Structures are given as structure tokens and as C-alpha cells.
Amino acid sequence: EVILCTPASREGAVAPEILYAADLCGVDRIFAVGGAQAVAAMAYGTESIPRVDKIFGPGNRYVTRAKQLVAGDTVAVDLPAGPSEVLVLLDDDASPAFAAADLLSQAEHGGDSQAVLVCPSVEFARDTQRAVGEQLLQLRRGETIREALRQSRIVVLDSREKMIGFADAYAPEHLIISMRDAWDVAARIAAGSVFVGPWSPESAGDYASGTNHTLPTGGWARACSGVNTDAFLRKITYQELSRKGLAALSPTVIAMAEAEGLGAHAAAVRVRMKG
């Protein structure tokens, strides 16, 4: 059984786009509740919301913290997915207007989002700053974006190697690369999802290019993958040995069991070989 928790509007209605997508994906039941309280409801169960085995989905700092708390108690979770972030990695041949658009598209997620530009020159940094200011005037979520931009950064580094090293240490949720030999650069950086070339905006991955959109944040891309088909599967291993097969493995099993000081493990093989 698959259930979906999603916040309702001020009028108490769930967005029709979400209802349609849920029906398309075979969701069994929908509950109009979101945030940390939805995580708690799914982890422990309520009179109306059933307890689940695993919780999936993006979130903010509160949802992420709630998932981390219940993960050590009663339920499995997908990964740490907190405030959104993007790192845009460019050389001087790239477009400042494109860079600005990518930074702004991530900043509008929330006031605690972070957008980082890494570039090789102060001139490019200033051109991008100007483009950010111009494009911001055309956007509706200006207040949210300005809050996010206050904690965002432009980093100027004087060599390609330093730029790659910085990006890999940051391990961003979204990484946009518009540089010469961009695929070679991409192979050297840990990230949740990578967008290569000038025609690959992060919003394409959010909505249409087919990659997942629930990704590790806060440096977790160094250890975690984003949500994918594998995350929804449970893997069980099975084995059946013949007497001949066990005889072939028995020296290895006995040697390793005795090295670990687990004599009963070794005896479970010996008794069969005697029998």
C-alpha cells in the first residue's frame, strides 16, 4: 500500500496536479497533511493515517530533522534532503545571464536555500551579479529569493583544479557545469545530480528530463544517492548448497569462523561433513 501526505491549500484543497500525478502512479490513499507532523504520523500511525515501513520525499530543515529522528526508532527513510542548494561551476566562456537564472531558480525554493557560483574571474562574478539583479525584478518570489541570496556566495578561484576541488568538497545537491571538457570535470565531483553544458538548467531535472528530484543535501552527496527505483525495492539473498558444494566451501568457512573465535559456526559445517 502506498500513501501520500501533502499539504492542503488555505482553502483545504489538495492541488489538482498532485491528485492527478498520484492517480497516475497508483497511490492508494492521500492525506492532506505535510511537514514534520506528516513524518510523525507516517512513522507512528494515527487514527486515520497508517504506520508505514519507509518514508520518501523531499523536505525542508524541519522535515529532514523529523525523518532523522524517526529513522532511529520505527521506520526507514530515504535520505537526508534538507534545504535546497545548487553550485554553478563556470569558466569565462559561459553566459552570466544563464548563471544568474540558475542561481535564482534554486534560491526561490526557500529562504534557507543556498546558491553558489564558482568562477575564474572577478569580472565574470560582477557580470553575473548584475544579471541577478536585473532578472530578480521580473520574479514574483522576490522576498524569498533575497533571503536565500543573503546566505549564497560567489567564489572566485584562479585555477581549474581549485574550482573542481572546491565543488567536490561542497558536494552539492545540484551541480551545473558549463566549462570546457565538462564531462571530465563532472567525473571528478561528488554531487546529487549533475547538469552538463549550457542547455541543461536544473529546472529540467526537476520537471522533465527524467532524473529524480529527491537528492542529498548538506554534503551528504559524498555518501548518499538520490531517490531512485532501487530505493523502493527490498533485496533478499537466497542460497541452497549441495553436500558437494558445502564440502568445497567448508575449509573457508571453518578457517574464518575459527579466526573470529566462533566455534559453533565452524561446528555447524563439521557436523554436516561427518554426517
- Does 179 score more than 80 pLDDT? yes
Looking up cell 559445517, which residue turns up? 269
Q: What is the pLDDT of residues 90-129, one digit of tens each?
A: 999 999 999 999 999 999 999 999 999 999 999 999 999 9
Looking up cell 537528492, which residue turns up? 215
The arithmetic mean of pLDDT across residues 197-220, rounded, is: 93
Residues 34 and 5 sit within 8 Å (Cβ to Cβ): yes
Total length of the chain: 275
pLDDT-above-90 percentage for the chain? 90
Of the listed ranges 15-29, 73-87, 129-143, 190-204, the least confidently predicted one is 73-87
Which pLDDT value is given to residue 60?
A: 86
pLDDT-above-70 percentage for the chain? 100
- Does 159 score more than 90 pLDDT? yes
The arithmetic mean of pLDDT across residues 173-188, rounded, is: 97
Pairing outcome for strands 3-5 and 85-90: unpaired
Tell me the pLDDT band of 212, cut-offs 50, 70 and 90: confident
Coil, strand, or helix at residue 53? coil
Pairing outcome for strands 174-178 and 85-90: parallel
- Does 275 score more than 90 pLDDT? no
Taking the mean position of all CA atoms in its chain, how far away is CA 244? 46
Amino acid at 3: I
Q: What's the pTM?
A: 0.88
Which pLDDT value is given to residue 72?
A: 77
Coil, strand, or helix at residue 155? strand
Q: How far apart are CA 24 and CA 22, in angstroms?
A: 5
DSSP state, residue 168: H
The arithmetic mean of pLDDT across residues 206-214, rounded, is: 90
Which pLDDT value is given to residue 59?
A: 81
Q: What is the pLDDT of residues 220-267, one digit of tens each?
A: 999 999 998 899 898 999 999 999 999 999 999 999 999 999 999 999
Q: What cell was used for 231?
A: 530505493
b/e burial code for range 78-87 (CB count within 10 A of at least 16 → b): bbbbbbbbbb
Q: Where are the alpha helices (DSSP H) in the chain?
A: 16-24, 35-44, 61-71, 96-107, 122-136, 142-149, 160-170, 182-186, 202-207, 243-259, 263-274
Q: How far apart are CA 5 and CA 49, in angstroms?
A: 9
Q: What is the pLDDT of residues 23-81, one digit of tens each?
A: 999 999 999 999 999 999 999 999 999 999 999 998 888 999 999 999 978 899 998 88
Tell me the pLDDT band of 143, cut-offs 50, 70 and 90: very high
Q: Which residues are catalytic?
A: 173-174
Tell which residue, 202, 162, 198, 201, has the closest CA to residue 182.
198
Which pLDDT value is given to residue 80?
A: 85
Residues 172 and 85 sit within 8 Å (Cβ to Cβ): yes
